[in-house]
A and B are shown apart, each in its own frame.
Chain A
Amino acid sequence: MNPDELRRTSCLFLQDVYKSYGSKLVLDDIDLAVAAGEIVTVVGPSGCGKSTLLRLILGQELHSSGTVLVDGQPCGFADRSRGIVYQKYSLYPHLNVLDNVLLGLRLSCGVFERWRRRKAFEDEAMTYLARMGLQEHARKYPHELSGGMRQRVAIAQSLIIKPKILLMDEPFGALDPGSRENMQIFLLELWEEFGMTIFFVTHDLEEAVFLGTRIIVLSQHYTDGRGNDGEVRRGARIVSDRALPKEAQSTLVKTAARFGELIQQIRQEGFDPKYLRHAGSFDLTHPHSFQTLRKEECGQ
């Protein structure tokens, strides 16, 4: 598809996006179009700018140049169109679980409306909590919950206002392997039920391949027409963008041979500093992926 058509139809659309801190270029000409209902997982070497990319989409930081559209609208500072689940600090310590989940509903209307619809709000929040399996913990405070429970509350807290896109920044990074896997399965169940668009940043390749319907590899290890001397300021780019098969969702998938091969291939493409591909021949096989290279980058 051509960029203009993608711009109109995509849930999330980035074109020629750059982000630099002072003289350091972090993100270098990012082009990305995400259709509604996808789970996009983002991986890459540590410090390559995965979280920066997420914060640009969220509106926590502003991009240096380029276009970022969420549902066709230019994205400004963080607002209700985008939900976020962080690794930690997602919950408010002074509110109990129910109030944490209710917050989005309560903030959405004036004092009178809030009072009039308090029962409906509470019922809705309890429905979400029930779906998260946390009914009996509604009156507890965040510090009384386990890490996995906290993240489930954080997901409910974001989902209840039905954002156009749900951003997740290593949400399961602090969990032990067991609850991590449970949360992965749980998230997929929720996705099948609600069909929300998810933008999921992680450093765990296995998690990325298991969860995603589409995987994006961000990396600073590549070459382009700008030459290879040290003076070229080069930031991370999307070096690989591919659709992932969504088969029966069982963790058994993780042990399949193809699963392992895919992980190895992605590891090579994105994480190996010696494996340099030219910007013109990145592995961009996803039907929605597009690339706008400038002239000086195209040459050998």
Chain B
Amino acid sequence: MSATPPKFLGIHATPPKWLRWLLHLIPFVLLIIVYGIASDLRHRENPADKLLPPAAKMYEAMRQAAFEENVRTGKYQLWTDTGASLRRIGIGLGASACCGLLCGLILGLFVGMEQLVLPFLTFVSIIPPLAVLPILFIVFGVDELAKVMLIFIGTFPLITRDIQLTVKRIPREQIIKACTLGASQFSLAWRIVLPQIMPRLIETVRMSMGPAWLFLIAAEAIAATSGLGYRIFLVRRYLAMELIIPYVLWIVLIGAIVDFGLRLILRTRYAWYLQAQE
């Protein structure tokens, strides 16, 4: 008798495709239902409740933010906020990815440089970036530069360290083999090592997105005139949950799109990396 594996329970479970999709959806649907019920209950008790606004109110607040000019500034609030935040996070994370790639490559390949820089880098990476935020504001002013620097300082050591470890994990055999094929130190770095760490860089940047958003929103909360984090902390004063919740969901959506985009690059351009890992 051949046993059929269970669909859901146990270590031998093999859910069919339709069930997988269903399982993925269940927590989201549950959250929406629970929120809906709770919101409804509170509003029956107190029609002016601000804590759990109904979907219609959130939609209305978002519509105003996205498609109506702000009476005071004459701008479309959601888009200026999004643009400002994305610009900061893009410059900050982009700079730390580029510098991290270069530094990690050098540290991983050249032992002398590793000895010189790595202990200091470890020291820097332990500093909680938010603790030096005041210093950044003092040194770089409360403008864009301080926020970008916070994101940079918060993500650069981790990216560098990760790239350095990736370079060190390249088998010694490959390096020696390249030397027997006549590679100079530069061509070794450029043709052998760099292409092999690019996919890892994408993964590291993906993982650094979380911290980057954290630092961005923290910096915007303290001193800014636009940005998603600024807006959330601003409207908190009026308990404007109908705007805060959609803004948070909007941030999640942006993060998910960027993450998907990076994964897509990995899948299409670095197929060898994903398959060679197995």
Tell me the A residues contacting B by CB distance below 8 Å: 58-60, 77-80, 82-84, 86, 88-90, 92-95, 103-104, 106-108, 141-144, 157-158, 161, 163
Contacts and interface: CB of A to CB of B under 8 A. Distances in A.
B187 A107 contact: yes
Nearest to B181: A104
Contact of B272 (A58, A94, A104, A108): A94
Given A60-B176, A141-B272, A144-B275, 18 more contacts: A58-B176, A79-B179, A79-B180, A79-B182, A89-B171, A89-B173, A89-B174, A90-B173, A93-B196, A94-B196, A95-B195, A103-B178, A103-B191, A104-B182, A141-B271, A143-B276, A158-B180, A163-B180
B163 to A, nearest CB: 15
Contact of B179 (A77, A86, A95): A77
Nearest to B197: A94
Nearest to B271: A141
B273 interface: yes
Contacts of B180: 58, 78-80, 82-84, 158, 163
B192 interface: yes
B17 interface: no
Contacts of A79: 179-180, 182
Interface in B159-181: 171-174, 176-181
Interface string B234-277: 00000000000000000000000000000000000011110110
Given A84-B180, A107-B182, A143 B275 contact: yes
B273 A78 contact: no
Nearest to A83: B180
B173 A86 contact: yes
Interface of B: 171-174, 176-184, 187, 191-192, 195-196, 270-273, 275-276
Contacts of A163: 180
A97 to B, nearest CB: 12
Nearest to A160: B181
A93 B276 contact: yes
B196 A80 contact: no
B192 A92 contact: yes
27 contacts: A59-B176, A60-B176, A77-B179, A78-B176, A78-B179, A78-B180, A80-B180, A80-B182, A82-B180, A84-B176, A86-B173, A92-B174, A92-B196, A93-B196, A93-B276, A94-B196, A103-B178, A107-B181, A107-B182, A107-B183, A107-B187, A141-B272, A142-B272, A143-B276, A158-B180, A161-B181, A163-B180
A93 B187 contact: no
Contacts of B275: 141, 143-144
Nearest to A93: B276
B172 A93 contact: no
Nearest to B272: A141
Contacts of B184: 107
Contacts of A158: 180-181
Most A CB atoms within 10 A — which of B174, B180, B196, B272? B180
